Amino acid sequence: MIYLDNAATTPISLNALKTYNFYASEQFFNPSGIYNVVVKVKNDIQSAKETILNSLKTLKGNIIFTSSATEANNLAIFGSLKSNFKKIVLSMADHPSVYNVGLELENKGYNVEFCPLQKNGQIDYEALEQILDETTSLISIIHVCNETGAINDLKRINDLRNKKCPNAILHADGVQAFSKIKINLDYYGVDLYTISGHKMFAPKGIACLFVRDGLHLKPILYGGGQENNLRSGTENVPAIMALKTAVLEIGDIQKNYDYVKKLKDKFISNLKDVACIVNSNETNSPYILSLTFKGVNGETLVHMLEQNGIYVSTGSACSSKKKGNRILSSMSIRPEDVVGSIRVSFSKHNTFEEIETASTILKNCYNELIEKLR
């Protein structure tokens, strides 16, 4: 098997799995208990938060653990809402867990505007500047697009926020950025930031939301008041501690970035004789590669690769049941080309041998499919 769908999910690392099992079978105590043995578990959770804050290059906030990035994104937006909110600004590049929240808020009567995209997949900063005004109360922009790898400049977005609507709350979905590109939340100036465990070799079922000091959210779940009253429910200690282990295993981000970029460049180079369009550029994250193959159906191509033991996707797993591709369409890619698009997503554990094999088989599958369609 050659797995090239790492933007969808990753396997849990062996060390993270060992940590998970330890806290599931030995240190299994409920952190809300009052007996002495629970103190260690509470302290371990706090240490996990500190580890994540350090990796985000900030100590000016708190980490709220959630069950998923979808929940964290919902908490960021719904938890920020106030009765005096006038305008909410999202983007056409956002993950469904943000974009569909925007549609729901529109249905509830809120003024929601979606910032358009440039052809390179980044948000249109000039359009964003025009959209933002003194009535803007909340901004949520994805950091790295899960479909194309386009990296949005959070510092630039924050500068526009400070210029046009300094009182607005700024949230970023960092799921495809965390562990893959260098992050400095103090430099960016964002108020809320989402990360997810299963995208970076931690278990599924664990994610978190960074909340800047001084920002007061409302809970979207009510119960025992865990996580500073923002996320009721018994903490998933095994997954939290496994996430900490995965964070400690990230390693040299720049070294990993440079290695994966070489993998991506090699993959693209091997397809130079094929009629395909690369929906990415040099400024995009190398971990995600969007390709459009002329004259074929991307889903058919994905299944042909699957039969050869190679796993890629047509795009976001959270959008797999929907027709079309909102993000590629927003980049002015023609509908007939959107149909032929696939997403290849790499990890630091992929090898050049895998890239050579996968790209060769992809080229052969495409040529075979074109021949059948003649």
Find all residues with CB under 8 Å of 71, minimum gap 6, and list them.
Answer: 207, 220
Residue 313 has what DSSP assignment?
Answer: B
Task: State the DSSP string of 96-149.
Answer: HHHHHHHHHHHHTT-EEEEE-B-TTSSB-HHHHHHH--TTEEEEEEESB-TTT-
Q: Which H helix or E strand runs over 24? A: helix 14-25
Burial of 251 (0-12, 13-18, 19+ CB in 10 A): exposed
Encoded tokens for 216 = 């007061």
For residue 227, the one-letter residue type is E
Q: Which of 98, 87, 97 is nearest to 132 (CA)?
A: 87
Find all residues with CB under 8 Å of 335, minimum gap 6, and list them.
Answer: 324, 329
The verdict on whether 365 is a catalytic residue reads: no
Find all residues with CB under 8 Å of 258, minimum gap 6, and list them.
Answer: none
Distance CA 280, CA 138 (A): 29
Instruction: Report the side by side order of strands in the sheet with 276-278.
Output: 276-278, 288-293, 341-345
For residue 44, the one-letter residue type is D
CB 30 within 8 A of CB 371: no
Backbone torsions φ then ψ of 63, nearest 5 degrees: -105, 130
| Identified catalytic residue from 145, 208, 318, 365 | 318
CA torsion through residues 267, 270, 272, 274, sign: negative
Burial of 220 (0-12, 13-18, 19+ CB in 10 A): middle
CB 176 within 8 A of CB 146: yes
Catalytic residues: 318
